[in-house]
């Protein structure tokens, strides 16, 4: 009986060791599977989004907000407040004349301007990546006039009447009116649409290389003709 009991205990210990090793192996497999799942489901996509943000930053000098599966995976950051994507040089003329008791004064100015249009980076630009990471939708406010610089000015006419001379106030008013007309001209031109088209071309090229799929750009607010 003693021998049988010893044999039983030996078999039991052996089975326990086998079971213990089996449970350890199962645990290792579960950990590896969980780690692999985390890597492919979270870490790997996260690295891809970081690389995408870096590529955008290289070209456009800011990192947009990127969302995937309703979660924000990259936050928007920028070292600059504005992104100019279109620039245009143009001339603007302004004529003023005033007649008082038959005496006329006149002034005509021609300004040389540089207008820049683009995007206010204080507002949010969102890139929504599809679940399969094969397409993306970009949402941002429309382009606006960012700056208008007077780089030169010609006085084409400056004549006072016999008893109605041009006053310093009239000359100042003409200067201000020239700037207002130039701003109106720039805002009503196709400069803002050009800024949007240039941005769309750049961002779509970057995203197509990253996702290999379709890209759509949505300007969520009307084009803003404001400085």
Tell me the sheet residues that pair with 218.
139
- pLDDT surpasses 60 at 225: no
φ, ψ of residue 23 to 5 degrees: the values are -65, -40
Query: Residue 33: what pLDDT?
Result: 40
Q: How far apart are CA 98 and CA 161, in angstroms?
A: 9
- pLDDT surpasses 60 at 197: yes
Q: How far apart are CA 207 and CA 137, in angstroms?
A: 10
- pLDDT surpasses 70 at 5: no
Give the start-to-end residue ranges of the domains of the chain: 54-219
pLDDT higher for 6 or 138? 138
pLDDT, tens digit, 9 for 90 and up, residues 28-85: 444 434 433 333 334 334 467 788 888 888 888 888 888 888 888 888 888 788 899 9
Q: Which helix (H) or strand (E) is 104 found in, with range?
A: strand 103-120
Query: Residue 181: what pLDDT?
Result: 97
């Amino acid at each position: 009986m003693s021998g049988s009991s010893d044999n039983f205990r030996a078999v039991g210990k052996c089975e326990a060791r086998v079971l213990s090793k089996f449970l350890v192996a199962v645990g290792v497999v579960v950990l590896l599977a969980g780690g692999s799942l985390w890597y492919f489901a979270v870490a790997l996509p996260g690295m891809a989004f970081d690389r995408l943000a870096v590529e955008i930053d290289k070209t456009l000098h800011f990192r947009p907000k990127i969302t995937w599966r309703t979660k924000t995976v990259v936050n928007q950051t920028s070292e600059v407040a504005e992104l100019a994507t279109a620039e245009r040089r143009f001339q603007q003329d302004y004529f003023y004349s005033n007649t008082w008791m038959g005496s006329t004064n006149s002034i005509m100015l021609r300004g040389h301007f540089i207008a820049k249009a683009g995007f206010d980076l204080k507002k949010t630009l969102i890139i929504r990546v599809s679940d399969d990471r094969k397409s993306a939708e970009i949402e941002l406010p429309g382009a606006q006039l960012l700056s208008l610089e007077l780089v030169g000015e010609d006085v084409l006419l400056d004549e006072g009447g016999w008893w109605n001379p041009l006053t310093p106030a009239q000359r100042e008013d003409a200067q201000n009116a020239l700037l207002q007309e130039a701003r109106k001209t720039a805002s009503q031109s196709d400069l803002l649409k050009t800024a949007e088209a240039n941005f769309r071309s750049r961002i779509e090229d970057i995203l197509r290389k990253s996702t290999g799929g379709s890209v759509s750009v949505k300007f969520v607010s009307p084009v803003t003709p404001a400085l």
